[in-house]
Chain A
Amino acid sequence: SYVLTQPPSVSVAPGQTARITCGGNNIGSKSVHWYQQKPGQAPVLVVYDDSDRPSGIPERFSGSNSGNTATLTISRVEAGDEADYYCQVWDSSSDHPFVVFGGGTKLTVL
């Protein structure tokens, strides 16, 4: 089965740029989606198809995907961005496409 690897934690000062990676074998050939989850809340989609933003998501959130690594970039980080972030792809290696999530990255705003 397909495995996505995320760093457990990333720390950044307010106003700086946070980069959260998601590693996978040839992940650049897949579409990557990113979700933000704050404590006690359901996940929220923040980036889909590698780099698109749903309506209502600030432009500070962006994404890229190439080779074996996808990256979620959060510019001008704010205290309210502190959350867990998960990447997600579809694994089409079997008869039925399966959903795969990364292990999650806790973003701490210093």
Chain B
Amino acid sequence: EVQLVESGGGLVQPGGSLKLSCAASGFTFSGSAMHWVRQASGKGLEWVGRIRSKANSYATAYAASVKGRFTISRDDSKNTAYLQMNSLKTEDTAVYYCTRLYITMDAFDIWGQGTMVTVSS
């Protein structure tokens, strides 16, 4: 079964750190670019960033709102992508989704169920 499963969400204080994981199965993870998208409660989708495949040098890119604070990485041997979040702010509170970019479509065809991150004192 093709799926993505996020984990690692929770409650963290402002200024704190959290690392999310995204475990993939059912497709060739190593060849896929992986993205993170977040959604605050009652709000729309916001792109967070992405990491490309080894063939594309594991290149990363980030939204301006998280650049310098968030880091995306991956471990192809574990079929897992990660989102390291540092210096968290209350406005980072959201459900975080990982998603696969299907290169043929240039669109996101597989999404995880999401993991909730709450930044609050």
Contact = CB atoms under 8 A, between A and B. Distances in A.
Contacts of A100: 47
A96 B63 CA distance: 10
A88 B109 CA distance: 13
Majority-rule SS of B interface residues: strand
Majority-rule SS of A interface residues: strand
Contacts of B37: 43, 99, 101
Contacts of B44: 86, 101-104
Interface residues of A, number: 25
A52 B105 contact: yes
A42 B97 contact: yes
Contacts of A42: 97, 111-114
A98 B41 CA distance: 23
Given A43-B45, A88-B45, A98-B63, 19 more contacts: A33-B105, A33-B106, A35-B45, A41-B113, A42-B111, A42-B114, A43-B108, A43-B111, A45-B105, A48-B109, A49-B105, A49-B106, A52-B105, A88-B107, A98-B61, A99-B35, A100-B47, A101-B44, A103-B44
Interface of B: 35, 37, 44-47, 50, 59, 61, 63, 97, 99, 105-109, 111-114
The 5 closest A-B CB pairs, nearest first, are A99-B47, A42-B111, A33-B107, A96-B61, A48-B107
